[in-house]
Amino acid sequence: MTMTAAIAPATATTTITTPARHDLYAPIHKALRLFMTDTLQILSRLDVDDPRDLAAGLARLDELLEAASRHVKHENDFVHPAIELRRRGASRLIEAEHRDHLEAIAALRTQADALRAEPSAVAAYRLYRQLAAFIAENFEHMDVEETRHNQALWAAYGDADLRAIEDRIHASIDPGEMSLWMRWMIPAFSPAERARLFAGLPPEARAPMLAQARPWLDEAAWTKLCAALSA
């Protein structure tokens, strides 16, 4: 079961269905959007006078920035070559934006290090605004990928080909990084998407994953997931 196999239009009740086309972007982007906005909220309320709160907030930012840089690499290494093979130049704009993203990530890391070394409310607010601007640009960027890039991929490849690309991406991700993405993907999914993800797991993996996911879901989401899996 791949991560994107969990994506399909939601219905009025939680059902397990198959998507019309395989989408390389939607699941990971859902996770990334939640990861980004949750981290932004943490920076918004950061207490620079509390060393433990400051350290925890900056550690979360470090985690996000590392994940974002790895996400860029995965798309550069696997998705863009597939697009360029069939539609030369179609990924050029996003490739350039990826370079900008890596520069922005480096700048955010520098600002975070400065805040860590000399905590101040002014520096914390500057870092918060800088992250907000980075996230805003990324939201527009991801929308282009989910529309124009998906159109190029769907025109050039069948779903089996897209799953093969995704399998190569997954093979390049170590268990720690995969666990991190699942941490944000599972709560970001709709009930139907979440049910399909767990339904597709091997029986021996489902129980441990459910136990791991329980703290990430509120009571309503957990109840819907259990009901869907027992149906």
- Name the DSSP class of 91: T
Domain boundaries, the chain: 17-174, 189-231
The C-alpha atoms of residue 82 and residue 62 are separated, in whole angstroms, by 30
Position 212 scores a pLDDT of 94
Rg of the chain taking only CA atoms, in angstroms: 19
Position 20 scores a pLDDT of 83
Q: How far is CA 5 from CA 51, 173, 226, 231, in A?
A: 42, 18, 19, 19
Position 127 scores a pLDDT of 98
**pTM of the predicted model as reported, rounded to 2 decimal places:** 0.89
Position 6 scores a pLDDT of 41
The C-alpha atoms of residue 122 and residue 131 are separated, in whole angstroms, by 14
Q: How far is CA 120 from CA 38, 127, 131, 133, in A?
A: 22, 11, 17, 20
- Go through 113-134 and write b for each residue having 16 or more CB atoms within 10 A of its CB, e for each that does not: eebbeebeeebbeebbebbeeb
Position 84 scores a pLDDT of 97
Closest Cα partner for 65 from 126, 115, 108, 129?
Answer: 108
Beta strands, E only, 71-193: none
114: left (phi over 0), alpha (psi -120 to 50) or beta: alpha
Q: How far is CA 151 from CA 61, 136, 167, 210, in A?
A: 33, 23, 20, 34
- For the chain, 231 residues long, the average pLDDT of each consecutive 10-residue run is 39 46 96 98 98 98 98 98 96 96 98 98 98 98 97 97 96 95 97 94 91 96 96 79
Position 38 scores a pLDDT of 98
Contacts of 52 (CB under 8 A, 6+ apart): none
Supply 130's token pair. 């800088």
Position 19 scores a pLDDT of 54
Q: Classify 17-174 by CATH class.
A: mainly alpha
